[in-house]
């Protein structure tokens, strides 16, 4: 499966998580570099909704892997929740949905975070004073502890 010439120079968006966490985890821990390669290729082929319609042969041709290696990689990605496969009638290729669970967790973490309180805010001038403010003398200067 080859891309039209107009897509050869299109940039592919890749989350930092995919490089920093997912790559070492799948390649190093699971020892399945083909799974990361398949995930990367499918991510690049996916439409704006994270869906791609392609058969195992198309993935194999696109990645340069064997069809059996692609089958194992797809099975691992499904087990890890990174890929959802929708089976379709025989002449139609499978439809895959790309999942990014780290993005949902990050959004949920930001949404659920408590709002900043005045006590924890950094005072004007940028320095925080540990243990509260130091006592001030009549001239407005801080007194040194005795």
State the total domains in the chain. 1
On whether residue 27 sits in a domain, the answer given is: yes
Helix (H, G, I), strand (E, B) or coil at 44: helix
Residue 120 in this model has a pLDDT that exceeds 50: no
- What integer is the mean pLDDT of 120-134? 51
Task: Give tens-digit pLDDT for 15-40.
Answer: 888 888 888 888 888 889 999 999 99
Range of the domain at 95: 14-103
- What integer is the mean pLDDT of 71-93? 89
What is the predicted pLDDT for the residue at 48?
A: 82
Chain centroid to CA 59: how far? 21
What is the predicted pLDDT for the residue at 61?
A: 93
Q: What percent of the chain has pLDDT over 90?
A: 26
On whether residue 131 sits in a domain, the answer given is: no
On whether residue 78 sits in a domain, the answer given is: yes
- What integer is the mean pLDDT of 130-141? 55
Task: Give tens-digit pLDDT for 36-78.
Answer: 999 999 988 888 888 999 999 999 999 999 999 999 999 999 9
Query: Are the C-beta atoms of residues 85 and 56 closer than 8 Å to each other?
Result: no
Long-range contacts of 49-53 (CB under 8 A, 24+ apart): 50/97, 50/98, 50/99, 50/100, 51/95, 51/96, 51/97, 51/98, 52/95, 52/96, 52/98, 53/92, 53/93, 53/94, 53/95, 53/96
- Integer Cα distance of 114 and 124 in angstroms: 22
Residue 126 in this model has a pLDDT that exceeds 80: no
- What integer is the mean pLDDT of 82-111? 77
- Integer Cα distance of 126 and 134 in angstroms: 16
Output the domain CATH number for residue 82. Answer: 1.10.10.10
């Amino acid at each position: 499966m080859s891309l039209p010439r107009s897509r050869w120079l299109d940039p592919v968006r890749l989350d930092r998580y995919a490089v920093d966490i997912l790559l070492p985890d799948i390649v190093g821990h699971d020892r399945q570099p083909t799974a990361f390669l398949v995930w990367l290729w499918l991510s690049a082929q996916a439409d704006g909704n994270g869906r791609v319609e392609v058969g195992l042969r198309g993935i194999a041709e696109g990645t340069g892997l064997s069809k059996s290696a692609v089958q194992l990689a797809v099975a691992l990605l499904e087990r890890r929740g990174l890929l959802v496969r929708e089976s379709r009638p025989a002449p139609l290729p499978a439809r895959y949905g790309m999942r990014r669970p780290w993005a949902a967790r990050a959004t949920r973490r930001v949404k659920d975070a408590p709002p900043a309180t005045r006590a924890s805010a950094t005072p004007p001038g940028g320095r925080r004073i540990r243990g509260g403010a130091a006592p001030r003398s009549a001239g407005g200067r801080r007194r040194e502890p005795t």
